[in-house]
Amino acid sequence: MKLVTKLMTPLAAATAIAALSGAAVADDHMSSDMTIVSWGGAYQDSQIKAYADPYLEMNDGVSITWDESSAEAVAKMRAMNEAGNVTWDLVDVTAASAMRLCDEGLAMEVDHDEILAAAPDGTSASDDFGDLIVSDCFIPQIVYSTTVGYRTDLVPEGTPEPSNICDLFDLATYPGKRSLEKRPINTMEWALLCDGVAKEDVYDVLATEEGQEQALAKLDTIRDEVIWWSAGADTPQLLADGEVFMGSTYNGRLFSAIVEQDQPIGMLWDAQVFDLDGWVIPADLPEERLARVKDFVKFATDTQRLADQAKYISYGPARESSAPLVGKHAELGIEMAPHMPTDPNNAQNTFLYNYEFWADYRDDIDAKFQAWLAQ
């Protein structure tokens, strides 16, 4: 790293001289290609359409390589850092991963007001994103939530469709298989909520041994009926196949199953777990690459671009100023706002994910959870 910076100084001087001799080389200090890491699928498509393609149109000669490794981003960045060869320029991760990368010094700390564009009305970036900046390294893009979908055609006759998160645990009224994520996060919280724990006490209870037992005991009541998923695409598939009656997944996946594919599926907006997704920049990037990334991020997270992204996927833009600009679905032409997790009608009873808690207790509770699963 040190070597690179030392080499860069004479290089930068040379560029400066070159810049003096001809004005056309303004972009010389930025590298011409970028490797961006994202999640693949519909989400990555929305990023490409909403800001990567427009950015490439504006900047001739720049190219972007996409790497669909976000799911293993933390492990891979750690390995790259140890090998001393970080090949990624910009990485899309969840907020929890961003905090972890920041803690380990693998992601760059940024001054949000300096590197991000202000809102059109002049509100500074840090005010516009507000509380969603959960870490100094994290540049938020979208708000998503983990919620529950169900088969509308398999609801027993004479019973209303499920509307409460606790219907997940009510096998008497709503018989049938469930699909839940194969990790304690979210599942344990829902179990406690439905076992009578008040929303604000959930994490206090979960921090105790008895609380963990209580959550597992609640899960015991449905464990024979549960299929455990590990990929976001699993639940929509299981629902479409009729393998399960109810299951948890991300709201964007349910949106595309319900609206785009017209499956007989409904979804709950109750105690859905709010979470964030956004960019981090790897630590210690060489100057040229860093300059290019900063240029791209500033464009890609401005008010209009984040609102544009919502045309392609039903995740809420992280900027407050983007919300009024959210328009219609790019192909179906339906209003997107009512499908956003941030829409007031949907956000009446949400559950806030506690990053700090899971950072500390994840290993411990996971060991118990896995042992419980294996029993």
Q: Rule CB under 8 A: which residues touch other proteins?
A: 2, 5, 71-72, 74-75, 78, 100, 103-105, 177, 182, 227-228, 230, 241-243, 356, 359-364, 366-368, 370-374
With respect to other proteins, which residue has the nearer C-beta, 18 or 367? Answer: 367
With respect to other proteins, which residue has the nearer C-beta, 214 or 304? Answer: 214
**Range list of H helices, the chain:** 2-21, 41-47, 53-58, 73-83, 95-103, 112-115, 125-129, 187-193, 202-206, 209-220, 234-241, 251-255, 287-300, 303-309, 355-374
With respect to other proteins, which residue has the nearer C-beta, 84 or 122? Answer: 84
Give least dist CB 207 to other proteins, A: 9
Give least dist CB 107 to other proteins, A: 11
With respect to other proteins, which residue has the nearer C-beta, 55 or 361? Answer: 361
The CA distance from 44 to 52, in Å, is 10
Give least dist CB 353 to other proteins, A: 16
The CA distance from 330 to 332, in Å, is 6
- Residue in 271, 295, 329 with CA at minimum distance from that of residue 64: 295
The CA distance from 189 to 201, in Å, is 10
Residue 296: Cβ within 10 Å count: 23
Q: What angle do CA 97, 100, 101 make, to 5 degrees?
A: 85
With respect to other proteins, which residue has the nearer C-beta, 128 or 181? Answer: 181
Give least dist CB 325 to other proteins, A: 36
Give Cβ neighbours of residue 235 (< 8 Å, ≥ 6 apart): 149, 179, 229, 244, 247, 248, 249, 253
Q: Return the structure tokens found at 268.
A: 């709950």
With respect to other proteins, which residue has the nearer C-beta, 74 or 91? Answer: 74
With respect to other proteins, which residue has the nearer C-beta, 5 or 163? Answer: 5
The CA distance from 331 to 313, in Å, is 11
Give least dist CB 1 to other proteins, A: 8
Give least dist CB 73 to other proteins, A: 9
Give least dist CB 331 to other proteins, A: 28
